[in-house]
Protein backbone atom coordinates (compact mmCIF):
# COMPACT_ATOMS: atom_id res chain seq x y z
CA UNK A 1 0.00 0.00 0.00
CA UNK A 2 1.55 3.34 -0.99
CA UNK A 3 1.28 6.10 1.55
CA UNK A 4 2.94 9.40 0.60
CA UNK A 5 6.04 7.76 -0.80
CA UNK A 6 6.44 4.85 1.63
CA UNK A 7 5.39 1.39 0.51
CA UNK A 8 4.41 -1.09 3.23
CA UNK A 9 4.43 -4.72 2.11
CA UNK A 10 7.10 -4.16 -0.55
CA UNK A 11 8.75 -7.06 -2.35
CA UNK A 12 10.73 -8.95 0.32
CA UNK A 13 13.27 -10.07 -2.33
CA UNK A 14 14.36 -6.45 -2.65
CA UNK A 15 15.07 -5.98 1.07
CA UNK A 16 18.68 -5.03 1.78
CA UNK A 17 18.64 -6.64 5.25
CA UNK A 18 16.57 -7.48 8.30
CA UNK A 19 16.57 -4.74 10.90
CA UNK A 20 15.52 -5.02 14.55
CA UNK A 21 13.16 -2.23 15.54
CA UNK A 22 10.86 -1.05 18.31
CA UNK A 23 7.70 1.03 18.49
CA UNK A 24 5.66 2.57 21.28
CA UNK A 25 1.92 2.82 21.77
CA UNK A 26 1.33 5.58 24.30
CA UNK A 27 -2.19 6.30 25.51
CA UNK A 28 -3.27 9.38 27.44
CA UNK A 29 -5.97 9.42 30.14
CA UNK A 30 -8.70 9.64 27.48
CA UNK A 31 -7.22 6.54 25.74
CA UNK A 32 -6.07 8.62 22.79
CA UNK A 33 -2.87 7.41 21.12
CA UNK A 34 0.19 9.58 20.52
CA UNK A 35 1.19 9.70 16.87
CA UNK A 36 4.15 11.21 15.09
CA UNK A 37 3.97 12.70 11.61
CA UNK A 38 7.18 11.38 10.09
CA UNK A 39 9.52 13.53 8.02
CA UNK A 40 10.59 10.62 5.74
CA UNK A 41 7.23 10.36 4.01
CA UNK A 42 4.79 12.70 5.75
CA UNK A 43 2.56 9.93 7.05
CA UNK A 44 1.56 9.35 10.67
CA UNK A 45 2.80 6.49 12.81
CA UNK A 46 3.95 5.37 16.21
CA UNK A 47 7.20 6.66 17.69
CA UNK A 48 9.98 4.14 17.26
CA UNK A 49 13.00 3.10 15.29
CA UNK A 50 16.00 0.85 15.07
CA UNK A 51 17.70 -0.99 17.90
CA UNK A 52 21.35 0.01 18.15
CA UNK A 53 24.21 -2.41 18.75
CA UNK A 54 24.68 -3.01 22.49
CA UNK A 55 21.18 -1.78 23.34
CA UNK A 56 18.22 -3.69 24.80
CA UNK A 57 14.82 -3.35 23.15
CA UNK A 58 13.46 -1.58 26.24
CA UNK A 59 16.34 0.89 26.20
CA UNK A 60 15.80 1.39 22.47
CA UNK A 61 12.10 2.20 22.80
CA UNK A 62 12.75 4.67 25.65
CA UNK A 63 15.51 6.35 23.59
CA UNK A 64 13.39 6.52 20.42
CA UNK A 65 10.39 7.96 22.27
CA UNK A 66 12.60 10.62 23.88
CA UNK A 67 14.33 11.50 20.59
CA UNK A 68 11.16 11.66 18.52
CA UNK A 69 8.68 13.13 21.02
CA UNK A 70 10.59 14.75 23.90
CA UNK A 71 8.81 12.47 26.38
CA UNK A 72 10.46 10.18 28.92
CA UNK A 73 8.64 6.85 28.83
CA UNK A 74 8.89 3.44 30.40
CA UNK A 75 7.58 0.11 29.19
CA UNK A 76 4.29 -1.15 30.60
CA UNK A 77 3.98 -4.34 28.52
CA UNK A 78 4.82 -6.01 25.23
CA UNK A 79 2.00 -5.66 22.72
CA UNK A 80 3.49 -7.85 20.04
CA UNK A 81 6.32 -8.99 17.84
CA UNK A 82 5.80 -8.22 14.16
CA UNK A 83 7.78 -9.91 11.37
CA UNK A 84 5.28 -10.79 8.61
CA UNK A 85 6.80 -9.49 5.35
CA UNK A 86 3.34 -8.27 4.26
CA UNK A 87 3.45 -5.85 7.21
CA UNK A 88 7.14 -5.38 7.82
CA UNK A 89 8.90 -4.98 4.47
CA UNK A 90 9.06 -1.25 3.81
CA UNK A 91 10.31 0.73 0.80
CA UNK A 92 11.32 4.31 1.50
CA UNK A 93 11.19 7.25 -0.93
CA UNK A 94 14.98 6.96 -1.38
CA UNK A 95 14.47 3.43 -2.78
CA UNK A 96 15.85 1.50 0.20
CA UNK A 97 13.87 -1.59 1.17
CA UNK A 98 14.19 -3.10 4.65
CA UNK A 99 12.52 -6.01 6.42
CA UNK A 100 11.87 -4.93 10.00
CA UNK A 101 11.35 -7.24 12.94
CA UNK A 102 9.47 -5.00 15.36
CA UNK A 103 8.81 -5.35 19.08
CA UNK A 104 5.91 -3.07 19.97
CA UNK A 105 5.47 -1.92 23.56
CA UNK A 106 2.76 -0.08 25.40
CA UNK A 107 4.61 2.70 27.21
CA UNK A 108 3.75 5.14 29.98
CA UNK A 109 4.90 8.77 30.01
CA UNK A 110 7.01 9.66 33.06
CA UNK A 111 7.91 13.22 32.13
CA UNK A 112 9.13 15.54 29.42
CA UNK A 113 7.43 17.90 27.00
CA UNK A 114 6.17 17.13 23.49
CA UNK A 115 8.90 18.35 21.15
CA UNK A 116 9.50 17.70 17.46
CA UNK A 117 12.88 16.87 15.90
CA UNK A 118 14.33 16.28 12.41
CA UNK A 119 12.43 12.95 12.17
CA UNK A 120 9.14 14.43 13.42
CA UNK A 121 7.04 17.00 11.56
CA UNK A 122 4.23 17.00 14.14
CA UNK A 123 2.95 15.18 17.23
CA UNK A 124 -0.67 14.80 18.26
CA UNK A 125 -3.09 12.64 20.25
CA UNK A 126 -5.78 10.80 18.28
CA UNK A 127 -8.86 8.84 19.26
CA UNK A 128 -8.18 5.26 18.15
CA UNK A 129 -11.39 5.28 16.10
CA UNK A 130 -10.33 8.45 14.26
CA UNK A 131 -6.79 7.86 13.08
CA UNK A 132 -5.39 10.06 10.29
CA UNK A 133 -6.02 8.95 6.72
CA UNK A 134 -2.27 9.07 6.02
CA UNK A 135 -1.50 6.49 8.70
CA UNK A 136 1.05 3.72 8.18
CA UNK A 137 -1.02 0.55 7.76
CA UNK A 138 1.36 -1.65 9.77
CA UNK A 139 1.09 0.76 12.71
CA UNK A 140 -2.73 0.55 12.60
CA UNK A 141 -2.38 -3.20 13.29
CA UNK A 142 -0.23 -2.51 16.36
CA UNK A 143 -2.68 0.06 17.73
CA UNK A 144 -5.57 -2.35 17.20
CA UNK A 145 -3.63 -5.06 19.05
CA UNK A 146 -2.84 -2.66 21.91
CA UNK A 147 -6.52 -1.77 22.32
CA UNK A 148 -7.35 -5.44 22.87
CA UNK A 149 -5.33 -5.42 26.13
CA UNK A 150 -4.49 -9.09 25.73
CA UNK A 151 -2.10 -10.45 28.37
CA UNK A 152 -0.10 -12.52 25.88
CA UNK A 153 1.86 -10.74 23.17
CA UNK A 154 0.63 -10.96 19.58
CA UNK A 155 3.02 -12.61 17.14
CA UNK A 156 2.35 -11.47 13.59
pLDDT score of 1: 39
Secondary structure (H, E, C), 94-128 = CCCEEEEEEEEEEEEEEEECCCCCCCEEEEEEECC
pLDDT score of 10: 64
pLDDT of 60 over the 70 cut: yes
pLDDT score of 144: 97
Q: State pLDDT tens for residues 70-115.
A: 999 999 999 999 999 999 998 888 888 999 999 999 999 999 999 9
The third-level CATH classification (topology) of the domain covering 2-155 is: Nucleoside Triphosphate Pyrophosphohydrolase (3.90.79)
pLDDT of 139 over the 80 cut: yes
Amino acid sequence: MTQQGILVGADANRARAIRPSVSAVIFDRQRRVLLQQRSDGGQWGLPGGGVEIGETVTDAVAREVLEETGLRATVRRVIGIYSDPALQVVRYPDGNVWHYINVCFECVVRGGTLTTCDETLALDWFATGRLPASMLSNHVVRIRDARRRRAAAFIR
